[in-house]
Chains A and B, each alone.
Chain A
Amino acid sequence: MTEVSTETAGAQTESATVLVARQGVRGWFAAHPLLTHIIKRFALYILTLWAAISGTFLFFRLIPGNPIDAYTQNLAQNYVYNQKANHQIIAHYNQVFGLNGNLFTQYTHYLYQLVVNHDLGPSLINYPTPAWTLISNALPWTLGLLLVATIVAWVLGLLLGAATGWWRRNPVSGGLTYVGTAITHIPYYFVALLGVFYLGYTHSILPTSLAYDPGVVMGWNWHFMTSVVKHALLPACSIIFVSIFGHMLGMRFQMIMTLGEDYLNFAEAKGLRPNVIMRKYAMRNSFLPQVTALAISLGAVFNGNVLVENLFKYPGVGHLLVQAVGNLDYNVIMGVTDLGIFGVLTGAFLLDLIVPVIDPRIRRAR
């Protein structure tokens, strides 16, 4: 009995300590709302990142066949009959590419390599070059092309959208809206094809492929820069041409919603000039969803624009992804998709942190 009493007393003391500790953590959270917000968002970010990477891992493994079969098929289809793959080769490369064992074993191996060793593994399409080396070589081209195109399209689309929303009853605004609605449904690559045909082949105005001219020395020099810009014009224009109108329509919609708000009537009643009302009241309040759209678009840039890059033989991530998918190069495919996931989620996470800073309403609500 005595012993039991002692145990009970000990347990009570322990639970009290835990309670105090809990109150302490809660108390700390309550005292630091901004940090709490960041920590919660970061935890959610990590969880989503893990879930998305795991999901894509499983998704790609559901594709029938495996990279080594693809390789042996490649040998056979290219008539390299006297280099038939044998069991030793298959076993060796299954080991090298982490394809041994069941799906769970492969998954844990992949996650361990990725998280602990920061290693995507070797690429199959350029074995034994690491997959990350291939991706990091392609990434600057994609970022250079798509980042600029995305930002330019966003800025122009925003301005056009604000203008068409503000002057919504103007026939030009109406016309632009109809044109924009039609153009947003045209795929990028169709515009790109038209560009290649007319500006590249018919009139020989712009180069039709690659990232810069052969013979140009790569570096921070005039010839290289002009060559890169010249080669990026057609692919960039084809993206910008369509994207502008998407952003324009979004911004126009927000502007029209905002124009019905009481505070605009109040500003007008105060005697503020129309352009001030437009810039400081209407535009600023319509701006927020567009920032969200930009952040997500910027994140998606990391995946590359597959069709446009392939049409222009642009040496970016999208071009690399197509090669990797064709050969079922899991390591490169996963590397590119992981990068895209990372880009979009990080963009969303940063947005979560930035939005309260740029929108006082959200800051106060929190």
Chain B
Amino acid sequence: MSRYDSDSFDFEDFMRHTLSRRDALKMGGLAAGAGALLAACSSGGSVDPNAKNGGGGGGGGNAGGGGNNGVPEQAATIPTPRKQTLIVAQGTFASYGVYNPFIPNTDYATGFGQVVKEYPFYLNLTKSTDNLINWQFTGWEYNKDFTQITFHIDPNVKWSDGKPMTSADAKFTIELFQKHSSLVGATGNWVTEAKTIQTPDDHTLVIDLTKRDTRYHYDYICSVVNAAFLCVPQHVWDGQDPTTFKNPTAVFTGPYKLKEANRNLQYYLWEKSPDYWNKAKLDPKPQYVAYLTAPAADAAAEDFKNAKIDQGGADYAHAQAMIKNGYKKAVITSMEDPCLRSIHINCDPSKGILADHRMRWVISCLMDRETYAKSIWSPPTTPATYPWPGYPYMNVYEDQSVASQFPLTYNPQKAEQLLGEIGAKKGSDGKYTYQGKKLSFTIITPSANTGYEYLIGQTLAKEMTKIGIPTDIKALTGAGVYNGQVAKGDYDIRSEWGPCSTSDPYQTYSSNTSKFYVPIGKQATTGDQERLKDPKLDSLTAQLANADPTAPSSKPIFKAALQEWYTQMPVIPSIKTVYTHQANTTYWTGWPTDDNLYMVPNNWWGQFMFVVGALKPASGA
């Protein structure tokens, strides 16, 4: 039994806090009072005014934090002093007491993935240059033919239990995954391409690769949410079965360590690590970081307004309304999502007209991206031009000479012209037929019927129906239903998200290469769920795989690949997507803002650690 494990019920500890006779008398009184109160409640009467501050009597400091800048006193949501605690509201948690990220459903957005785990490198998506942050590792270098990589580990890195992190830990981690193929992430290149691993000293890791790979280091960079490679302490994990190990002490190298995970109160509480190894670069001011389950939207907005939540909770609409009504403590920050919203086409040869790349362009011409961007998406955004997000450092891959040949614009006339070229015929009833069969499609989406992806799909379906191709849309919101159907290729068109490149466009192209192709009916879990088979794209992607993405000599290959990808377009880019992040400045200031977007503000990404490190206590708080 671990003191950290909320599932472990300590009976002796429970009984130590037993009821005295005086307490028993009080309880009797309380029961009588409660009875009266219940009756009062049922007739709409008043209730006990002493119950006003829910801070509770038992220990835990001044959690109420009242009298702060006119903020009304409210029940505390965490047991630590409010002024020393950063409170983040997130979704519903389930896996309290389990800190093994390699098995199903270990919650990662609990602070565990943000202020406890650390990665070798971090990518700051908001900057155009110098956006790679060396953290646990100080750098890497390849040999001449990219078959060997050498990582340098910062000699100062220590685990939160004080032991140093060495190359032996990194080697142990890779080998752990090689031995256990059922661990989540075990199919990553960082595992499968590591042929031999050498540790010439405690701070050097040399990996011989099974093949030339110019992007092997990508898996060591936290770019979106996390990095594939997460070093674990050998002295904790050695001898454990990693497929069932709960890792109750959560020893990692981050600036915070586990204080408490409370299933009943639905929060994770992390305490600042006094001996954090990288204090010189990151010395966060909050003594505690709490992640708690956000209540329903309206209640979360109230909690946000009452400064019971520092980040999250209030959605964009609620925060906007607060600001409009004069609330001055809310900060709304926009951040582009790594994934475009897009329309995915099932390109399998058995799908008839959809297998013809020109039909994908018919659909593209029926997509009114301006409407999607300005009227459907909130906050308003812009149409996509390239099959990757618009992060400043990705500009180097943009090529106007290619993009201008493939305009992603709304043009129904062009769509009808293309249909004619393909050989589709419009009947007297205004409906198109192809090879003797009437055309009709269904768009599926994982988004509920109020979701943006649903609305985009619905608008497209109307446009397709209008020109004579009856199309409807289905929301498959049940758990696993959408994914199951997509993996088996049981769909015509999908409205969802992607591509999601954050390093270079190779990520976009490679997922649609035919090495991942499987026929409809078989599970496509690792790529090419659009079932595209295009030898030219395969060949260009293979060349890109061997090319150094940063070398000028690679530019012509990128250009040719973009041209071919536009031609085939298995995934039709729709709009760039922007999400907002709402923060409260009552207790903590220094949040990323639209004017100073110094770091990714997403509180479920690994990069959030740097936001926590930049926060300062609000004056007067």
Is there a chain A Cβ closer than 8 Å to B392's Cβ?
no
Let me know if A86 and B526 touch, CB within 8 A: yes
Min distance, Cβ B223 to any Cβ of chain A, angstroms: 9
Kindly supply a per-residue 1/0 record for chain B positions 122-144, scoring 1 wherever the CB is within 8 Å of any chain A CB and 0 otherwise: 00000000000000000000000
Is there a chain A Cβ closer than 8 Å to B445's Cβ?
no
A83-B56 contact, Cβ under 8 Å, with A126-B98, A219-B13, A241-B42:
no
Let me know if A210 and B244 touch, CB within 8 A: no
Let me know if B30 and A89 touch, CB within 8 A: no
Is there a chain A Cβ closer than 8 Å to B402's Cβ?
no
Stretch at the interface among A67-75, A256-264, A266-274, A277-285: A67-75
Let me know if A313 and B293 touch, CB within 8 A: yes
A 312-338 contacts with B by CB, 8 A: 313, 315, 323, 325-328
Is there a chain B Cβ closer than 8 Å to A347's Cβ?
no
Is there a chain A Cβ closer than 8 Å to B421's Cβ?
no
Let me know if A208 and B75 touch, CB within 8 A: yes
The answer for the CA separation of A152 and B58 in the assembled complex, in Å, is: 29
Interface centre among A67, A125, A215, A219 (most CB of B within 10 A): A215
Chain B residues near A236 (CB-CB < 8 A): 38
Let me know if B266 and A82 touch, CB within 8 A: no
Let me know if B58 and A241 touch, CB within 8 A: no
Chain B residues near A22 (CB-CB < 8 A): none
A229-B181 contact, Cβ under 8 Å, with A92-B243, A215-B61:
no
Interface centre among A82, A93, A137, A244 (most CB of B within 10 A): A82
Kindly supply a per-residue 1/0 record for chain B positions 5-39, scoring 1 wherever the CB is within 8 Å of any chain A CB and 0 otherwise: 00101000111111100010011001000100111
Choose from A77, A133, A196, A224 the contact partner of B446 (Cβ within 8 Å).
Answer: A77
Let me know if A89 and B14 touch, CB within 8 A: no
Is there a chain A Cβ closer than 8 Å to B92's Cβ?
yes
Is there a chain B Cβ closer than 8 Å to A103's Cβ?
no
B 576-621 contacts with A by CB, 8 A: 604
B 255-277 contacts with A by CB, 8 A: 262-267
Q: Considering the complex, give the chain A residue whose CB is closest to the CB of B500.
A: A81
Given A78-B109, A205-B47, A315-B263, list of 12 further CB < 8 A pairs?
A: A64-B480, A66-B484, A78-B604, A82-B188, A86-B526, A124-B104, A205-B46, A220-B19, A225-B27, A229-B30, A323-B94, A325-B479
Min distance, Cβ B187 to any Cβ of chain A, angstroms: 4
Interface of B, secondary structure class, is loop
Min distance, Cβ A129 to any Cβ of chain B, angstroms: 6
Is there a chain B Cβ closer than 8 Å to A291's Cβ?
no
Choose from A78, A84, A211, A237 the contact partner of B38 (Cβ within 8 Å).
Answer: A237
Stretch at the interface among B225-233, B429-437, B551-559: B225-233
Stretch at the interface among B76-84, B145-153, B370-378: B76-84
Kindly supply a per-residue 1/0 record for chain A positions 183-220, scoring 1 wherever the CB is within 8 Å of any chain B CB and 0 otherwise: 00000000000011001010011111111111111111
Interface centre among B34, B108, B219 (most CB of A within 10 A): B34
Stretch at the interface among B295-303, B321-329, B459-467: B295-303
Let me know if A73 and B482 touch, CB within 8 A: yes
Min distance, Cβ B104 to any Cβ of chain A, angstroms: 5
Let me know if B23 and A222 touch, CB within 8 A: yes
A-B contact pairs, 23 of them (CB 8 A): A66-B480, A67-B479, A69-B487, A78-B604, A82-B185, A82-B188, A84-B187, A84-B525, A88-B187, A125-B95, A129-B98, A199-B47, A205-B49, A205-B51, A214-B63, A219-B14, A224-B17, A225-B30, A226-B26, A226-B57, A229-B30, A234-B41, A323-B92
Let me know if A69 and B76 touch, CB within 8 A: no
A216-B57 contact, Cβ under 8 Å, with A63-B478, A128-B103:
yes
Kindly supply a per-residue 1/0 record for chain A positions 104-139, scoring 1 wherever the CB is within 8 Å of any chain B CB and 0 otherwise: 000000000000000000001111110001100100
A 35-73 contacts with B by CB, 8 A: 63-73
Tally of chain A residues near chain B (CB < 8 A): 89
Let me know if B17 and A221 touch, CB within 8 A: yes
Is there a chain A Cβ closer than 8 Å to B483's Cβ?
yes
Let me know if A214 and B267 touch, CB within 8 A: yes
Lowest 9 A-B CB distances belong to which pairs?
A: A215-B60, A219-B17, A213-B56, A65-B480, A70-B480, A69-B480, A215-B79, A73-B483, A92-B182
The answer for the CA separation of A70 and B480 in the assembled complex, in Å, is: 3
Let me know if B181 and A126 touch, CB within 8 A: no
Let me know if A220 and B17 touch, CB within 8 A: yes
Min distance, Cβ B64 to any Cβ of chain A, angstroms: 10
Let me know if B58 and A215 touch, CB within 8 A: yes
Is there a chain A Cβ closer than 8 Å to B489's Cβ?
no
Chain A residues near B15 (CB-CB < 8 A): 219-220
Kindly supply a per-residue 1/0 record for chain B positions 69-106, scoring 1 wherever the CB is within 8 Å of any chain A CB and 0 otherwise: 00011111111000000000000101111100001111
Min distance, Cβ B266 to any Cβ of chain A, angstroms: 6
Let me know if A82 and B484 touch, CB within 8 A: no
Q: Considering the complex, give the chain A residue whose CB is closest to the CB of B52.
A: A204
Kindly supply a per-residue 1/0 record for chain B positions 189-221, scoring 1 wherever the CB is within 8 Å of any chain A CB and 0 otherwise: 000000000000000000000000000000100
* Residues of A in contact with B (beta carbons under 8 Å apart): 63-93, 124-129, 133-134, 137, 141, 152, 156, 195-196, 199, 201, 204-227, 229-231, 233-234, 236-237, 240-241, 244, 311, 313, 315, 323, 325-328
Min distance, Cβ B122 to any Cβ of chain A, angstroms: 14
A212-B265 contact, Cβ under 8 Å, with A88-B186, A313-B295:
yes
* Residues of B in contact with A (beta carbons under 8 Å apart): 7, 9, 13-19, 23, 26-27, 30, 34, 37-39, 41-42, 46-49, 51-61, 63, 72-79, 92, 94-98, 103-106, 108-109, 181-188, 219, 224-228, 243-244, 246, 262-267, 293, 295-296, 299, 302, 338-339, 446, 478-485, 487, 500, 523, 525-526, 604
The answer for the CA separation of A67 and B105 in the assembled complex, in Å, is: 11
The answer for the CA separation of A85 and B60 in the assembled complex, in Å, is: 42
Chain B residues near A196 (CB-CB < 8 A): 299
Choose from A72, A87, A208 the contact partner of B295 (Cβ within 8 Å).
Answer: A208
Chain B residues near A206 (CB-CB < 8 A): 47, 51
Let me know if B226 and A210 touch, CB within 8 A: no
Min distance, Cβ A184 to any Cβ of chain B, angstroms: 13
Let me know if A233 and B76 touch, CB within 8 A: no
Let me know if B299 and A226 touch, CB within 8 A: no
Chain A residues near B54 (CB-CB < 8 A): 207, 213, 230-231
The answer for the CA separation of A116 and B267 in the assembled complex, in Å, is: 37
Chain A residues near B226 (CB-CB < 8 A): 80, 82-83
Min distance, Cβ B89 to any Cβ of chain A, angstroms: 12
Let me know if A72 and B483 touch, CB within 8 A: yes
Min distance, Cβ B451 to any Cβ of chain A, angstroms: 12
The answer for the CA separation of A47 and B184 in the assembled complex, in Å, is: 42
Interface centre among A63, A80, A134, A327 (most CB of B within 10 A): A80
Chain A residues near B73 (CB-CB < 8 A): 204
Q: Considering the complex, give the chain B residue whose CB is closest to the CB of A314.
A: B264
Choose from A93, A211, A328 the contact partner of B479 (Cβ within 8 Å).
Answer: A328
Let me know if B525 and A90 touch, CB within 8 A: yes
Let me know if B224 and A81 touch, CB within 8 A: yes
The answer for the CA separation of A274 and B351 in the assembled complex, in Å, is: 82
Chain B residues near A212 (CB-CB < 8 A): 56, 264-265
Choose from B47, B105, B185, B500 the contact partner of A125 (Cβ within 8 Å).
Answer: B105
Let me know if A80 and B526 touch, CB within 8 A: no
Chain B residues near A327 (CB-CB < 8 A): 94, 105, 479
Choose from A78, A79, A91, A195 the contact partner of B500 (Cβ within 8 Å).
Answer: A79
Chain A residues near B56 (CB-CB < 8 A): 212-216, 223, 227
Let me know if A315 and B266 touch, CB within 8 A: yes
Min distance, Cβ A218 to any Cβ of chain B, angstroms: 7
Q: Considering the complex, give the chain A residue whose CB is closest to the CB of B262.
A: A214
Min distance, Cβ A89 to any Cβ of chain B, angstroms: 5
Min distance, Cβ B498 to any Cβ of chain A, angstroms: 9
The answer for the CA separation of A66 and B361 in the assembled complex, in Å, is: 35
A207-B55 contact, Cβ under 8 Å, with A66-B480, A83-B185:
no
Min distance, Cβ A244 to any Cβ of chain B, angstroms: 6
Let me know if B484 and A233 touch, CB within 8 A: no
Let me know if A233 and B34 touch, CB within 8 A: yes
Let me know if A216 and B58 touch, CB within 8 A: yes
Let me know if B523 and A87 touch, CB within 8 A: yes
Chain B residues near A225 (CB-CB < 8 A): 19, 23, 27, 30
